[in-house]
Chains A and B, each alone.
Chain A
Amino acid sequence: MRLTCPLCGDRDRREFYYRGAAVALHRPAPDAGVAAWDDYVHLRDNPAGETRDLWHHEAGCGAWLVVTRHTVTHAVLEVALAQDEGAAG
């Protein structure tokens, strides 16, 4: 698998750290309650198909990326900067 970093271009998967589902971009408020935090920390849609997850270009520019992938074919459909999602990691 290779990912195309919007800043660095086409790079080997080994340069990236996988953080998990892009739900991590939408951190609930501290007082949002148990259900919201359970949702955020633990529960996952876990689709067999298109998914959005968060990767860190650790050995490159250091940007956080939102990668749209297919979990059955490993096809990478889109790579975008997380900062453009309007939320901080």
Chain B
Amino acid sequence: MFSGLRIFKEGLTGNTGWSPHWRDPAPKAEYDAVIIGGGGHGLSTAYYLAKNHRMTNIAVLEKGYIGSGNIGRNTTIIRANYYLPGNSEFYSHSLKLWEGLEQELNYNAMVSQRGVINLFHSDGQRDAFVRRGNAMRAQGDDAELLDPEGVRRYLPYLDFDNTRFPIYGGLLHARGGTARHDAVAWGYARGADRLGVDLIQNCEVTGIDIESGVVRGVQTARGPIKAKKVSIVTAGRSGQVAALAGLRLPIESHVLQAFVTEGLKPCIDHVVSFGMGHFYISQSDKGGLVFGGDLDFYASYAQRGNLPMAEHVMEAGMTLMPMIGKAKVLRSWGGIMDMTPDGSPIIDKTDTYGLFLDCGWCYGGFKAVPASGYALAHLMATGVPHETARGFRLDRFRDGHGLMDEEGTGAQHNLH
């Protein structure tokens, strides 16, 4: 469908020859598997179920429209710079899938490996980054420690001699970068559709049917649908959807804000994070500076934040790179983050046979989209966890074994 020739021809003829990228089917009465949630993770799950496991009688049920949730509301960063075993191999796998994504889907997701630079500002923080960089290299990914002069080569515009937080150096992860978030959803949606997956929009799930501990199907706004396997892939809304199956989850939904400025000429070539102020930034291909900080730190479904965190993020940005001070902020938004106590996700079976969970992505779900779908599809099709996602068990919260607290702050709800 997409080729250089076709795009050239359509460009000359007013782009009138394109057809919709996926069908708009009515739900069937029964599927082999149903995925609740048509976001990045749900769509990639459907794609890999069809592609890797030849399951094509499946449906993705989306409450709104495809890509209307967090997949369209994030800061688009991809990276594999995790430290802990369990996380490290998973994100490594995800980055490799990102690297082949556009060829795989024949879709321009604008994957841009522009490099991620995490800055550090003290001796202790440098030691921690040395350790992290070694862990990344041990995993087979790339990491390079930069001294201040090394950072200056890439990011000359930083306030290196800031009195409070001077820049001691940075950890460069050259294969990290960004991708076009909407196109990721569209690419997976189109890919899944072409393999026969039904993408059903405006189809809110209102009930999950369970008989004798076995899942039988779902009730939806468009009628009942029988299914042998059901996966809940609903990010910030996971708690509410899981409640339909009588489940309580180790999840508290929080708001995370992000900001974007007016379009500017290219000035920030990498993804840059400030080690002391919880601030990170990149520049979109359209020119806007896309940046954010930490959670607002209270449970919220409002999809908007409060001013104190907005002010804090702006202050941190100005501390790190005063040159952005005259850029005008165009808009800000908030997303609903499914926060787990240890900050790591869940891809697992539940106590109900045939019912699966994929949630708890906290504020880092975008980069995980390919590998999460890959692993959940594997679990749904084969019944055993994928080798890269064995650590994402639900019961680690029950017995405390295998908690993955990447930040080292403690496995407690308000600390991540």
Contact = CB atoms under 8 A, between A and B. Distances in A.
A44 B248 contact: yes
A46 B239 CA distance: 6
Interface in A43-64: 43-48, 51, 53
Given A18-B414, A71-B302, A13 B308 contact: yes
A48 B298 contact: no
Interface string B337-360: 000010000000000000000000
A51 B252 CA distance: 11
Size category, A interface: 20 to 34
B275 interface: no
B299 interface: yes
B301 interface: yes
A14 to B, nearest CB: 5
A25 interface: no
Nearest to A73: B302
Contact of A46 (B253, B297, B308, B341): B253
Interface secondary structure of A, over-half rule:
mixed
Interface in A34-49: 34-35, 38-39, 41-48
Contacts of A71: 253, 299-302
A71 B253 CA distance: 9
B341 A53 contact: no
A87 interface: no
B249 interface: yes
A1 interface: yes
A72 interface: yes
A40 to B, nearest CB: 11
B300 A46 contact: no
Contacts of A74: 300, 302, 306
Interface string B19-32: 00000000000000
Interface string B388-416: 00000000011100000000000011100
A65 B149 CA distance: 49
A19 B414 contact: yes
B206 interface: no
B300 A21 contact: no
A18 B412 CA distance: 12
A89 to B, nearest CB: 13
Given A1-B306, A12-B308, A19-B414, A48 B240 contact: yes
Contact of B398 (A19, A38, A45, A69): A38
Interface string B364-399: 000000000000000000000000000000000111
A28 interface: no
A14 B397 CA distance: 30
A39 B239 CA distance: 14
A39 B413 CA distance: 12
A20 B252 contact: yes
B70 to A, nearest CB: 15
Contacts of A1: 298, 306
B205 interface: no
Interface string A1-29: 10000000000111000111100000000
Given A13-B306, A53-B298, 14 more contacts: A1-B298, A18-B298, A21-B252, A38-B397, A39-B248, A44-B248, A46-B240, A46-B253, A48-B240, A51-B299, A71-B300, A71-B301, A74-B300, A74-B302
16 contacts: A20-B299, A20-B412, A21-B252, A35-B398, A38-B250, A41-B341, A42-B341, A46-B240, A46-B299, A48-B240, A51-B299, A53-B298, A53-B299, A74-B300, A74-B302, A74-B306
CB-CB nearest 4 A-B residue pairs: A46-B239, A42-B250, A42-B397, A48-B301
